[in-house]
Structure 1
Amino acid sequence: MTVTVRQGPSPLVVSFPHVGTDIPDDIAARMSGEALKLDDTDFEQPALYDFVAELGATTLTPRWSRLVIDLNRPPDNAPLYPGQNGTGLIPLETFDGAPIYADPPTEAETAERLETFWRPYHEALSEALATSIERHGYALLWDAHSITGVVPRLFEGRLPDLNLGTADGKACGPLVRAAAWAACEASDFTAVLDGRFKGGFITRNYGRPGWGIHALQMELCKHTHLADDPPARIDPARAGRLRPVLQAAMTGALAAIEP
């Protein structure tokens, strides 16, 4: 199984592209010990968003690690943020800049990983969105991510707590964008709209408000919901404070969609 899809009755589709932890043995054997710590994994996101089942959401969770292939990057590996440091379709460095491979994957291997690991997730996501359109006439795609608040290799300073991305408004309708942002802005968390993280491939590729698909990416700083002390784990008090904000952003965005 490459991707687990839990089908729900509502027009909400929640994508968790970076939660996978499995790595095929032949690939893992070539990776550094530092990479195999999987520190760049968003493993906690499904637990944080446990409330989406009550909203009737369809959820997609991949089996394979983002280090095998990044599901939120375009298949041609074009940079999402030209001129800024980032991670590619097959990451060659960790977020801290440590090398992942002594011998990086070849073009042929990259093409094979695209077919084996990347394409099935996107086929499942496309099908989930098509089902929502058929049933409701529209879909809200929420792409869920988390990141350490300070990553000097990727950005300067500290990120705001909540980083809402809509590809500068291209990936969703203006009322949807405003409603989701209003929930973030009204919270006690620091927040930014279309800042350093405007949305990755999933938000930009599938967000087609003219077709009824409204896409948003939420990049959360991990300190908003994880405990400070290792091992990384959900902090009940922090997550309890954050969940109502996320739910308000989702439900507000859904209510703002005009079929």
Structure 2
Amino acid sequence: MTDPHDELDPPFDVLEPAHWRGPLVFNSPHSGFIYPRRFLETTRLDLPTLRRSEDTFVDELFAGVVARGFPLMRAFFPRCYVDVNREPYELDPRMFIGRLPSYANTRSMRVAGGLGTVARVVGDAQEIYGGRIPVDDALDRIETLYKPYHRALRRLLIRTHRDFGVAVLVDCHSMPSNAGPRDERPRADVILGDRYGTSCAPVVTDTLEVALRGLGYAVGRNKPYAGGFITEHYGHPATGLHTVQFEINRALYMDERRQLRGPGFGAVVADLAVVVERLAAIPVESLKPWRAAAE
């Protein structure tokens, strides 16, 4: 019997610099675009529709960090297949044939919205599957893709913290240029999510915002994206582990409808290099164990 994840070998990678320069770690968990054949055979949607849920090209936008001395981790599997920015078992029992484990979180807001660890919908609430899928299929995705991804990310952060005394994880994402057909208001260029000041020291978010505004970007904080599971789970500033979610507006760098790089792609890459340098200039001492304001 063939492995359903043969196309995903490896399912992710970590691009390490030749010489680690500081405590920054970059992660692109939603830029994966390799869709297992067996998955495509079960979905009722075409590939372009599925791909609208990707953070297309985000790993490429941040790829320059490696030459600057910082690691970049990136997924190759798509988020609509399994989403590593969720709890490991945020699952909707209505999706599956068979019983979920008793420890599954079936009542989260993300599950209710169809966007659990194994998503039910993409885009504007379009159902991915024509019917229920075996629960073992979902559990297999979690065991073979989700858990190895988080083990590797955890090792990366532990290594960084050991070598520098602190670690700063920048979780890199993209957002549609508007919220949907009922909301045509333009979004900010970048939204920074720090779980309302609890996932990183203020200097991290402040530095990013000042750098971006200085380059002419409109910046928001926490609304509508305060940070997902990765930001919440790995952000422990009281122990020197800082996490911030970085959401960039897709209209800045790509043609959203055709899913192609846009004329602004190169300029965004150049601006992000400036932003990364500002972040790298934060003194390590200011990132040492810090108590979140909410405590």
- Equivalent of 1:72, from 85, 101, 112? 85
The TM-score with structure 2 as length reference comes to: 0.78
- Equivalent of 2:158, from 127, 130, 138? 130
Please state if 1:61 is matched with 2:74: yes
Kindly tell me: are residues 188 and 36 of structure 1, through their superposed partners in 2, closer, same or farther at Cα, counting changes over 3 Å?
A: closer
- Equivalent of 1:29, from 18, 22, 41? 41
- Please state how far the C-alpha of 1:155 moved relative to its aligned partner: 6.9
- Equivalent of 2:11, from 2, 21, 27? 2
Q: d(CA) in 2 for partners of 1:229 and 1:81?
A: 28
- Please state how far the C-alpha of 1:230 moved relative to its aligned partner: 2.8
> C-alpha offsets along residues 45-96 of structure 1, whole Å, 9 cap, x if unaligned?
1221132123211111112111110111111325776799562211111112
**Alignment correspondent of 1:186:** 214
Kindly tell me: are residues 54 and 179 of structure 1, through their superposed partners in 2, closer, same or farther at Cα, counting changes over 3 Å?
A: same
> C-alpha offsets along residues 74-121 of structure 1, whole Å, 9 cap, x if unaligned?
113257767995622111111122211012334333222111111111
Q: d(CA) in 2 for partners of 1:154 and 1:241?
A: 33
1:150–1:158 Cα contact (<8 Å) kept: yes
Q: d(CA) in 1 for partners of 2:255 and 2:34?
A: 24
Equivalence map 1:159-174=2 (5 Å): 159-174=187-202
- Please state how far the C-alpha of 1:174 moved relative to its aligned partner: 2.0
Kindly tell me: are residues 31 and 226 of structure 1, through their superposed partners in 2, closer, same or farther at Cα, counting changes over 3 Å?
A: same
SS in 2 for 1:46: helix
Q: d(CA) in 1 for partners of 2:52 and 2:64?
A: 25
**Alignment correspondent of 1:52:** 65
Q: d(CA) in 1 for partners of 2:143 and 2:110?
A: 26
Kindly tell me: are residues 54 and 102 of structure 1, through their superposed partners in 2, closer, same or farther at Cα, counting changes over 3 Å?
A: same
Q: d(CA) in 2 for partners of 1:198 and 1:115?
A: 27
Percent identity between the aligned chains? 23
Q: d(CA) in 1 for partners of 2:108 and 2:210?
A: 26
- Equivalent of 1:144, from 168, 172, 176? 172
Q: d(CA) in 1 for partners of 2:285 and 2:173?
A: 23
2:84–2:146 Cα contact (<8 Å) kept: yes
- Equivalent of 2:123, from 95, 98, 114? 95
Aligned length: 259
1:149–1:159 Cα contact (<8 Å) kept: yes
Q: Larger deviation: 53-62 or 162-171?
A: 53-62
- Please state how far the C-alpha of 1:247 moved relative to its aligned partner: 2.4
- Please state how far the C-alpha of 1:154 moved relative to its aligned partner: 9.8
SS in 2 for 1:168: coil
User: Cα RMSD between the aligned structures?
Assistant: 2.7
Unpaired stretches in structure 2, ≥5 consecutive residues: 1-9, 91-104, 289-295
Q: d(CA) in 2 for partners of 1:254 and 1:53?
A: 20
Q: 2:12 is matched by which residue type in structure 1?
A: V
2:192–2:205 Cα contact (<8 Å) kept: no
Q: 1:138 is matched by which residue type in structure 2?
A: V
